[in-house]
Amino acid sequence: MGGPQNKQRDHGEAPDAAHLRPSLDPTYARLLAAELRRRGFSDEEIFDGTRLSWTQLLEEERFLSFEQFRRLARRGMELSGEGWLGLDVGRSTQISSHGPLGYAMVASSNVGEVLGLAERYSALRLQIAAFEVERGDGRVRLRIDDTLGWGDVDEYVGLHIIGAMCLLLETVSGMPLPDTRLAFAHAEPAWVGEYETRLRGATLEFGADAGMIDMPEAFAAAPCITADPMAFRQAVRLCERTEERRQGDGDVAQRVLDRLLDRQGDYPTLSEMAKDLYMSNRTLIRKLKAQGTSYQMLLDDVRQELAVWYLRHSDMPVETIAERLGYRDTTNFSRTCKRWFGLTPRAIRG
């Protein structure tokens, strides 16, 4: 379960910027919120304290940061009281939720090809885990490594990923997973019976060094009942183009966020950022607008996340935090916090 928020102070150490960088498609947050809605919770209850909203998730085109997703996952487990919530969300995740990667998987010729796509293109959808296919001893294994540090939502994230992947493999093969071992990095929970009910026939292992779906090697050769060679080629080309765009200068918003997160207080102007990215002011504005955002919105996003982190997890004086976020006037910082969160810095700190 989520448990109470950790109030341990770090006396001024900077937060892990990786948790604040865009790292997963908002679809996975929508799926969680939709599951909570099906359980009868209102949007007000679901998004309380998350600094997210249903409208925002529907309209959001950029990846969410892990910190944003973590707040929603914590809230979901607190509301539901169900440590296995991630498994229910994962087991209800439709293939279309994985975008071009999902379409390529469903059109694959065999299960081994599906696993290879997960290894090759998973970062197009989420960058909080690394997928690796291993073979040996007559087995094929999909290893899922936590590359970010999932912390207090490790159970939710691990269950969501493994649950969704198991459902996908069952769908494309048209059969239950044969002689399968599922490994989880978290400790065995008191509600393991809920896992067993939802993962019938699988052998479960806890406290592993990584998540794992371990199947017979012969299953990798099983044909996909949804195979479509032409659709497969088209979907893979789309995956390749998406990857090229993100590795090039296509995802300008993420490049701007990366640079802002590497700064402390001395944030560049729009003109300085444009120069740093080797483009004109007009080009930067146009590219960000095409991604549904602006330089000021991205700067505000970074400042909001860092403000809350410093106020809740450090002992730094409010004046120092304001300075780190580029505010020379503490009063102005307080007014901005009130506008952002409806609370003063001291109220946020609690």
End-to-end CA distance of the chain: 23
- Interval 140-163 mean pLDDT: 97
Q: What percentage of the chain exceeds 90 in pLDDT?
A: 74
pLDDT at 202 over 50: yes
User: What pLDDT was estimated at residue 290?
Assistant: 86
Write out the chain in H/E/C secondary structure.
Answer: CCCCCCCCCCCCCCCCHHHCCEEECCHHHHHHHHHHHHCCCCHHHHHCCCCCCHHHHHHCCCCEEHHHHHHHHHHHHHHHCCCCHHHHHHHCCCHHHHHHHHHHHHCCCEHHHHHHHHHHHHHHCECCEEEEEEEECCEEEEEEEECCCCHHHHHHHHHHHHHHHHHHHHHHHCCCCCCCEEECCCCCCCCHHHHHHHCCCCEEECCCCCEEEEEEHHHHCCECCCCCHHHHHHHHHHHHHHHHHHHCCCCHHHHHHHHHHCCCCCCCCHHHHHHHCCCCHHHHHHHHHHCCCCHHHHHHHHHHHHHHHHHHHCCCCHHHHHHHCCCCCHHHHHHHHHHHHCCCHHHHHC
pLDDT in tens, 69-78: 999 999 999 9
- Interval 80-87 mean pLDDT: 97
Task: Confirm if 337 and 345 have CB atoms less than 8 A apart.
Answer: yes
pLDDT in tens, 296-330: 999 998 999 899 888 988 889 999 999 989 898 89
User: What pLDDT was estimated at residue 7?
Assistant: 41
Structure token pair of residue 89: 């969300």
pLDDT in tens, 161-183: 999 999 999 999 999 999 999 99
User: What pLDDT was estimated at residue 271?
Assistant: 94
pTM: 0.86
Please list the residues that pair with 216 across neighbouring strands. Answer: 139
Q: Which residue has the higher pLDDT, 228 or 258?
A: 228
CA distance to 232, 322, 339, per residue, from 329 (Å)? 56, 7, 16
Q: How far apart are CA 38 and CA 40, in angstroms?
A: 5
Q: What percentage of the chain exceeds 70 in pLDDT?
A: 94
pLDDT at 15 over 90: no
User: What pLDDT was estimated at residue 261?
Assistant: 86
**CA geometry: angle 242, 247, 251, nearest 5 deg:** 70
Q: How far apart are CA 303 and CA 182, in angstroms?
A: 40
Parallel, antiparallel, or unpaired for β 181-183 and 203-205?
parallel
Please list the residues that pair with 129 across neighbouring strands. Answer: 146
User: What pLDDT was estimated at residue 6?
Assistant: 40
User: What pLDDT was estimated at residue 266?
Assistant: 82
Domains 17-245 and 248-349 share a fold: no
User: What pLDDT was estimated at residue 3?
Assistant: 37
User: What pLDDT was estimated at residue 39?
Assistant: 96
CB atoms near residue 1 (< 10 Å): 15
Task: Confirm if 42 and 82 have CB atoms less than 8 A apart.
Answer: no
Instruction: Give the CATH superfamily of 248-349.
Output: Homeodomain-like (1.10.10.60)
Q: How far apart are CA 321 and CA 8, in angstroms?
A: 17
Structure token pair of residue 110: 């065999």
**CA geometry: angle 190, 129, 5, nearest 5 deg:** 50
Domains of the chain, by residue range, sit at 17-245, 248-349
φ, ψ for residue 22, nearest 5 deg: -55, 130
Q: What is the CATH number of domain 17-245?
A: 3.90.1520.10
φ, ψ for residue 237, nearest 5 deg: -60, -40
Reported as a pLDDT band with limits 50, 70 and 90, residue 5 is very low
